[in-house]
Amino acid sequence: MRHAGAEIRHFSGEWREPTGQALGTTNTKDRQDKADTIWPVSNDPGVLITREDMDGYLLSLSTKGSIAAARRYGSILEQLYQDLPEDKFVRKGTLAQWIELLRDKGYAANTINNFAIVANRFLDYVGHREYQLSELPKQEKSPQPELTRGEYLQLLQAAKTLEREREYLLVKLFASCDLPVQQLKKVTVEAAKTGCLMVESSGTRSMVHLPRCLCWELLAYAERQGIGIGPIFKSIRGKAMCRSGLTASISKLSETAGIASEKCNPQCLRRLYKSTRAAVEANFALLVEQTMDKQAEQEQLIAGWDV
């Protein structure tokens, strides 16, 4: 978000106050010199950005069913259009300059990254990828909260106390297997019967194993809900749960469980599964080494070289 009171600077080099009125004449030459240094004039012919092209791009998004994205992209493209110089041309280096302008205005790194992505996609739409930003701004990575196994058990107890069986099963599911959030629809009655399901993430297919006790609970829940085939977890309208609905359902347990709400989500539960599995595998590897050492010592007593 832009900080309140931040100066609005345009590629043309003109400096304005947030009200849109020009600043006083004091140090006008210094300001112009600084702007000319930041926004150098280029002989590159560039591409003219028009509102017609912007509207066409947004319309194409809407016709594909991405109405929410069209609204969001529209506000970003409008910001780009307003920040461009008066001729409304984008040339090589223009987007990089725009990124610096957004930083000066106080936008967060993640927001700037999103702005750059939208601008790149728009330039692809108008057929001028040569003016895209080749390297996207680095996003800020906030520290991710860690959920302990004790807190995981508290979430299960909270779900039982509130008699929320669906949330109970969701918590147990993501803490018991490496299931990508977007693959929840693959948890079907059929998968619960076989104890495994095939998922695809980032172009890679893998098999996910479901613990036997979890399968029993999933099948019992499905039977009580009248679900004989297909996805077990559904919305009120009977459709497969969406990502936001999933996170909201688990988050409702935070107060009763006495756990920070930022820990009550499928991502934290999945990380708990991964860290627990890694610890088990490390212990197993150590056990293998100890077993092999013990076997070597026994064989040494039988046929070892005298030293």
pLDDT, tens only, 207-253: 999 999 999 999 999 999 999 999 999 887 777 788 888 889 999 99
Judge if 153 and 275 occupy the same domain. Answer: yes
Per-residue tokens: 244: 């936001």
- Per-residue pLDDT, averaged over 85-105, amounts to 88
Same domain, 193 and 250: yes
Domain stop point among 131, 160, 195: 131
Taking phi first (over 0 means left), then psi (-120 to 50 degrees means alpha), and beta for anything else, what does residue 202 get? Answer: left
Q: Residue 77 falls within a domain, yes or no?
A: yes
In this structure, are 100 and 209 located in the same domain? no
What is the per-residue pLDDT for 4?
37
What are the tens digits of pLDDT across the range 37-86? 344 445 778 899 999 999 999 998 888 777 777 888 989 999 999 999 88
**Judgement on whether residues 212 and 117 belong to the same structural domain of the protein:** no
Same domain, 156 and 212: yes
> What per-residue confidence (pLDDT) applies to 3?
39
- Indicate if 163 and 235 belong to the same structural domain: yes
- What is residue 103's predicted lDDT score, i.e. its pLDDT? 82
Residues 99 and 189 both lie in one domain:
no
pLDDT of residue 160: 95
Domain count, the chain: 2
The per-residue pLDDT for 119 is 92
Residue 144, domain member (yes or no): no
Q: Which of 98, 131, 164 is the last residue of a domain?
A: 131
In a domain, 297, yes or no: no
Half-sphere exposure of 232 (CA within 13 A, CB side): 27
Give tens-digit pLDDT for 248-300.
Answer: 999 999 999 999 999 999 999 999 999 998 888 888 888 888 899 988 988 88
Mean pLDDT of the chain: 81
How far apart CA 264 and CA 258 sit, in angstroms, is 10
> Does residue 154 share a domain with residue 124?
no
Domain that holds residue 240: 149-279
pLDDT of 37 reads 36
Question: Are β-strands 15-16 and 8-9 bridged in parallel, bridged antiparallel, or unpaired?
Answer: antiparallel
Q: Is residue 302 part of a domain?
A: no
In a domain, 307, yes or no: no
Query: Where a domain ends, among 96, 131, 166?
Result: 131
* CATH number of the domain within which 162 lies: 1.10.443.10
Q: Give the span between the Cα atoms of 122 and 188, in whole angstroms.
A: 39
Residues 80 and 172 in one domain: no
Q: Tell me, yes or no, whether 164 lies in a domain.
A: yes
Q: For position 13, what pLDDT does the model report?
A: 35
Residue 108 belongs to some domain of the structure? yes
Q: What is the mean pLDDT of residues 116-128?
A: 91
Q: Does residue 139 belong to any structural domain of this protein?
A: no
